[in-house]
Homo-oligomer: A and B are copies of this chain.
Amino acid sequence: MDQTALTKLLRPKSLAVVGASATPGKIGYTVIDNLVKNGYKGKIYPINPTATEILGLRVYAEIKDVPGKVDLAVITVPVNLVSQVAEECGKKGIGALSVITSGFSEVGRKDLEDELVSIARQYGMCVLGPNIVGTLSNSDKLNASFAPFLPFPGKATLITQSGALLIAMDAITYTRKVGFDKMISIGNMADVDFADLITWLDTDEDTNCICLYIEGFKDGRKFIEASRKCKKPIIALKAGVSAHGAAAAASHTGSLAGAVKVYGAAFQQAGVVQASDLSNLFDRTLALSLQSPLKGDNLLVITNGGGVGVLATDAGERYGVPLQFAPQDVQEELKKHMPAYGSAKNPVDLTGMAGNDWYYKSVKFAYAHPWVDGLVVLYCETAMTNPVEIGQAIKKAVDETGVKNRPIIVSMTGGTRCDEAMAWLVENGIPAYPAPDQAMNAMAALREYHDIRKDIGGSEEICLPESSKKARAIIAKARADGRSMLTEVEAKKLFGAYKLPVAETNLSTSEEEAVALANKTGYPIVMKIVSPDIIHKSDAGGVKVNIKDEAGVRAAYNAILAGAKAYKADAHIFGVAIQEMAPLGTEVIVGSINDPTFGPTVMFGLGGIFVEVLKDVTFRVAPVTNGQVKQMINEIRSVAILAGARGAAPRDRVALEDLIAKYSCMIYDLRDEISETDANPVLVYEEGKGLKVVDARIILKKQ
């Protein structure tokens, strides 16, 4: 995306409103009114074939009549006129279109949208929308929308896929005192998408935090790339977590994927902090736009009430920022600013006797102390104190330390006096919340932001020409047979091509060949039916294990074929697989889907009951960095099993990490061919002893 075009879209020096109206109540009137009312300083050209003046502005009949240069056209004409208008804008040399008009892909008319974009491309214009509310910006006093006012001023910028929510959130910024510079309604994303705007906002001096309301991406990878590169905090609320669904899946992995898990993985890899709901989005945006990341574990809480202190302690545990006891020297100093029955541990309880001075002194000491990575100050309303003065004392103490880049968050639990004090604090750069729980959650966001940026890495360019060549030959053969699922033997060969440690498996097509292969593999062996028509091999008596000699091989070969015939008389049988019998180990599952939004995505979980009953699995968009693989393994609930539960020796995590990384490269490399895969089970052995992929499934993309 051309960033100059985006500058014209978001910071236009001049703009035309095409479809301007002199009739109050019409959107074409409201937009002009909003531009004038909010004090936009650039040139405004209303375009309307019949009117001559709207709100004191000269009206032009057509775009081409406008005398000067025009950066942006805000389009409010009926849907059937939009393409024509776009054409005219292009000819005029306009840089960007903000298309408020609806009636495009949201009602099934994607064709109109494609036409619009194709015209825009032709003239090098970018298109925001269609089907949007418009754009708002405090720094340019620009309200090019039909939302009634500019947001409460601040340095966050909102991008939202719901226009209705933009209007509501705009109003909420005033009641919650969360400041925004810009609000952008992104609509149908026919052209400009989240990634484009994130890249542009990264260099916007008026934005220091990017706040997203997302219903769904078109190109998930583009979002990840743009977010990774962005140096400002990004916070996202993903709505519709139940809609994405995992309808019909041919693999185990496919049935376990869902929007929550896949989007969650993508946000993790993109370095994007998540919000749990709308309130939480505001709370976290406030903290991320006003404070620095929390870089360590030492979070100190100062309070005047045991109750709110306990609630903050509970919340700290809940949100992943548990409190530690303060060191002795910190405790000793703090003890000076409280009565004997106070507590200097953590939370530091100044007691209900605490006035401005105790708050001032303890905050000043604690905020400057090197042990303290972050400070949460709680105030529980008392009859004897004035929260506004307490707030001022906190701010003064913080300022006097001269300390920078250390987060501080306040919570004031009480009535209107507390609200007033918190508004003052926020105005002075200190986030403040009505409940201790919210303050701790906001501090957790600052911690998450710090942690999540550690391991986002860049996605490597994968180039594995040899592996790819072998794999594609196997796939081509299956395609030639008209199959969309590889046989187990083929799937293992394909895995082998990418150097995954598979249990050696070969196809025999006669009893003699079976014996020869078994002798070559070495006993004991496993034998399995290979047939595209028999998916559940065990049900057909198609699996025999622990075969110890030639006689066993012969007996098994014939029994398997007989079983297969009995199970499905017309099954097409390729032969019988001869597989080395892998020793017992801890079962894990590695698999993949080719997500419509994010493309190849790898899954990991513990196998057997853990995956089937507990669905204890985790996803990452492929390929994954080594750091991300470590995270994946650590975030499953049953991870302790790999460390050696119930007296077992620790499992070979190095080999497992290597497998997942290679697996992710494989599915990325073959993303044009492969739809879903499972390596299930993979048996993981003791440290240093590696692992074996024992069964494999690969489903090809439909062609």
Contacts and interface: CB of A to CB of B under 8 A. Distances in A.
Interface string A625-652: 0000000000001101100011000000
Contact of A308 (B165, B322, B380): B165
Nearest to A34: B383
Contacts of A163: 352
A438 B279 CA distance: 9
Contact of A171 (B311, B416, B613): B416
Interface in A233-262: 239-243
Interface string A303-336: 0111110110111010000100000000000000
A522 interface: no
Given A239-B310, A278-B413, A646-B608, A380 B437 contact: no
Interface string A409-426: 000011111110000000
Interface string A555-588: 0000000000000000000000000000000000
A657 interface: no
Nearest to A27: B383
Nearest to A613: B640
A307 B213 contact: yes
> Which residue, A148, A164, A174, A437, has most C-beta atoms of chain B within 10 A?
A164
Interface in A420-440: 434-438
A107 interface: yes
A175 interface: yes
Kindly report how many copies of this chain are found in the complex they form together.
2
A434 B380 contact: no
A146 interface: yes
A233 to B, nearest CB: 22
Interface residues of A, number: 71
Contacts of A645: 609, 612-613
A417 B167 CA distance: 13
Interface in A587-644: 608-609, 612-614, 637-638, 640-641
A277 interface: yes
Contact of A418 (B147, B171, B380): B171
A645 B438 CA distance: 41
B175 A215 contact: no
A172 interface: yes
A612 B637 CA distance: 12
A484 interface: no
Give the interface centre of A174, A279, A341 by most chain B CB atoms within 10 Å: A279
A162 interface: yes
Contacts of A613: 638, 640-641, 645
A38 interface: no
Nearest to A305: B164
A437 B280 CA distance: 10
Which of A160, A306, A416, A418 has the most chain B CB atoms inside 10 A of its CB? A306
Nearest to A304: B164
A381 interface: yes
Contacts of A308: 164-165, 168
A382 interface: yes
A235 to B, nearest CB: 16
A30 interface: yes
Contacts of A434: 172, 175, 279
Interface string A273-316: 00001110000000000000000000000001111101101110
A382 B162 CA distance: 12
Nearest to A638: B613
A383 B133 CA distance: 11
A314 B239 CA distance: 7
A341 to B, nearest CB: 6
B239 A174 contact: no
A164 B413 CA distance: 10
A626 to B, nearest CB: 25
Given A279-B435, A416-B171, A419-B175, A215 B310 contact: yes
A305 to B, nearest CB: 4
B307 A239 contact: yes
Interface in A169-219: 169-172, 174-175, 213, 215
Contacts of A169: 413
A240 B313 contact: yes
Given A277-B311, A416-B174, A613-B640, A165 B242 contact: no
Given A383-B148, A435-B278, A613-B638, A174 B415 contact: yes
4 interchain residue pairs of minimum CB distance: A171-B415, A162-B307, A164-B305, A277-B437
7 contacts: A164-B305, A164-B306, A164-B382, A165-B413, A174-B416, A239-B314, A613-B645
